C-alpha cells in the first residue's frame, strides 16, 4: 500500500490499455493496480506473449491481445472495442546498446508505433488520457554544472534510441497542443528491479554475480563495459507509483522527470552487489561492450512532480539491489 500522505490515491476502477504489456514495468504496474484499484479492467497488448500469470493479480479483470502496434487495423479494432479511459504506453525497444545494433528497428518501434496509436485516438475521437513514457537518454551529454537536470534542460540525444525517444516526445507535444489530445510525458531515468531482463546493465551484473557466487569461484572475474559512468537509478516500484499518479493527476501536455535525484558509478554498483553476495570480484573491461557515444554522468531532479503531485522515491538503492539479487538467485540454475 501507499503511505498515508498519498491522500490522492483512491479506488475508482480504471479502464486502462497497457502497451508493451509483456515487459517487467507492466507487471509491477499491475501489482500496484491490484492493490489500489481493485475491480479495474486492463487490456494488455504486445507483439510478445507475457510470461507471467494473470492469477497473480486476482482483483483485476485482465485480457491480452497479441498484436503489433505497427498493424493499424488490429490496433484500431482494439481501441474501438475496448474504449480505454487511460493508455499507458510502455511499448518500445528500450535498450540503448541494442539501438546501435538495430537503429532502424529502434526508430520504427519507438516512433511509428506511438504515432499509429495517437493518430488512431485522434481520428476516432477517443476520450482517454495517454501517458507517453520517455527516457533520460534524451538529455544526451551534459555538463556537470547542469546537474541535477530539470525538465527545462535542452535535449541533445546521443544514440539512436535517444533520438527515437525525443521524436516520441515531440509527437506527444504536437498531438497535445495541436489536436488537444490528453497526453502526459515522462523522462524516466534508469529504473531497476526484480524481473528486469538481463539485457539491462544492473540486471546483467546481478545475474553474472549470482552465477559466480553459486560456482564458488575463489577469484571471480566479471566482464563489463565502461564502469566510470554515473547514472541515476531508482526502483521500478517507485516508478509505477509515479506513472499511476500522472495518469490520475498529471497536467496534460507536460513532461515530468522520474528519477531518484542521486547518482552512482557503475563500479560502485558492482561493489555493493559483491558485498551483498560476500563475493571477491575483479572486473575486466571488454571494449566491444563500450558504446560509441556515452553520457558520462546523468542525475535528474524530481522537484516538479514532487511539487505538483507529492511523489518522491522511497525505496533505497540497497534494497533494490538486494531484491534483484534474490530474483536471480531463484532464476539462475
Question: What cell does 94 get?
Answer: 528500450
Question: What cell does 284 get?
Answer: 575486466
- The C-alpha cell 507517453 sits at 132
- pLDDT number for residue 170: 97
Do residues 60 and 42 lie in contact, with contact meaning Cβ atoms separated by under 8 Å? yes
Question: What cell does 4 get?
Answer: 498515508
DSSP letter at 64 equals E
The H or E element that residue 130 is part of is strand 129-135
- pLDDT number for residue 12: 63
Task: List the alpha helices (DSSP H) in the chain.
Answer: 24-36, 72-82, 96-101, 103-107, 113-123, 160-179, 201-214, 236-249, 266-276, 303-309, 317-331
C-alpha gyration radius of the chain:
20
Closest CA to 42 of 16, 75, 78: 16
Q: Are strands 190-192 and 264-265 parallel, antiparallel or unpaired?
A: unpaired
Q: CA–CA separation, 86 vs 79, rounded Å?
A: 11
Do residues 263 and 195 lie in contact, with contact meaning Cβ atoms separated by under 8 Å? no
Q: How far is CA 98 from the centre of its chain?
A: 16
Closest CA to 184 of 261, 128, 139: 128
- pLDDT number for residue 218: 61
Sign of CA dihedral 78, 82, 83, 84: negative
Sketch the domain layout of the chain as residue ranges.
15-194+233-262+299-314
Query: Across-strand partners of 257?
Result: 187
Of 3.40.50.720, 3.30.230.10, 3.40.50.150, 3.30.70.920, the CATH number of 15-194+233-262+299-314 is 3.40.50.720
Q: CA–CA separation, 240 vs 14, rounded Å?
A: 15
Closest CA to 288 of 206, 224, 220: 224
- pLDDT number for residue 182: 98
Q: CA–CA separation, 54 vs 64, rounded Å?
A: 10
Give the Å distances, CA to CA, from 280 to 156, 229, 271, 331, 332: 39, 22, 9, 22, 19
Q: CA–CA separation, 326 vs 205, rounded Å?
A: 13
Q: Could you tell me the mean pLDDT of each successive run of 10 residues in the chain, 333 residues long?
A: 39 86 97 96 96 95 96 96 97 85 88 96 95 96 95 95 96 97 98 94 94 81 88 98 98 98 97 94 80 84 98 98 97 84
- pLDDT number for residue 271: 95
Q: What angle do CA 10, 51, 94 make, to 5 degrees?
A: 75
Q: CA–CA separation, 114 vs 91, rounded Å?
A: 8
Q: CA–CA separation, 184 vs 243, rounded Å?
A: 10
Amino acid at each position: 500500500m501507499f503511505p498515508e500522505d498519498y491522500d490522492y490515491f483512491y479506488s475508482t476502477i480504471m479502464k486502462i490499455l497497457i502497451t508493451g504489456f509483456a515487459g517487467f514495468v507492466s507487471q509491477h504496474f499491475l501489482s500496484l493496480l491490484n492493490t489500489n484499484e481493485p475491480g479495474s479492467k486492463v487490456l494488455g497488448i504486445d507483439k510478445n506473449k507475457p510470461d507471467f500469470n494473470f492469477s497473480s493479480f486476482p482483483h483485476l479483470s485482465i485480457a491480452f491481445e497479441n498484436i503489433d502496434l505497427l498493424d493499424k487495423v488490429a490496433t484500431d479494432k482494439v481501441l474501438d472495442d475496448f474504449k480505454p479511459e487511460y493508455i499507458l504506453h510502455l511499448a518500445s525497444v528500450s535498450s540503448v546498446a541494442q539501438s546501435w545494433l538495430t537503429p532502424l528497428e529502434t526508430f520504427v518501434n519507438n516512433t511509428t508505433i506511438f504515432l499509429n496509436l495517437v493518430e488512431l485516438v485522434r481520428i476516432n475521437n477517443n476520450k482517454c488520457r495517454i501517458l507517453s513514457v520517455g527516457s533520460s537518454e534524451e538529455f544526451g551529454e551534459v555538463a556537470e554544472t547542469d546537474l541535477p537536470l530539470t525538465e527545462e534542460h535542452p535535449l541533445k540525444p546521443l544514440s539512436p534510441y535517444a533520438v527515437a525517444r525525443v521524436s516520441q516526445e515531440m509527437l506527444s507535444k504536437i498531438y497535445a497542443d495541436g489536436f488537444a489530445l490528453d497526453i502526459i510525458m515522462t523522462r524516466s531515468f534508469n529504473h531497476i528491479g526484480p524481473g528486469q531482463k538481463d539485457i539491462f546493465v544492473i540486471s546483467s551484473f546481478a545475474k553474472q554475480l549470482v552465477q559466480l557466487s553459486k560456482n564458488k569461484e575463489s577469484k571471480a572475474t566479471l566482464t563489463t563495459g565502461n564502469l566510470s559512468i554515473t547514472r541515476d537509478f531508482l526502483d521500478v516500484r517507485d516508478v509505477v507509483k509515479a506513472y499511476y499518479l500522472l495518469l490520475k493527476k498529471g497536467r496534460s501536455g507536460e513532461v515530468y522527470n522520474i528519477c531518484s535525484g542521486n547518482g552512482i558509478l557503475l563500479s560502485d554498483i558492482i561493489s555493493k552487489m559483491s558485498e551483498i553476495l560476500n563475493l571477491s570480484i575483479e572486473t575486466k573491461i571488454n571494449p566491444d561492450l563500450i558504446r560509441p557515444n556515452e553520457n558520462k554522468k546523468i542525475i535528474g531532479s524530481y522537484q516538479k512532480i514532487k511539487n505538483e503531485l507529492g511523489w518522491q522515491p522511497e525505496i533505497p538503492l540497497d534494497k533494490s539491489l538486494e531484491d534483484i539479487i534474490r530474483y536471480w538467485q531463484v532464476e539462475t540454475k
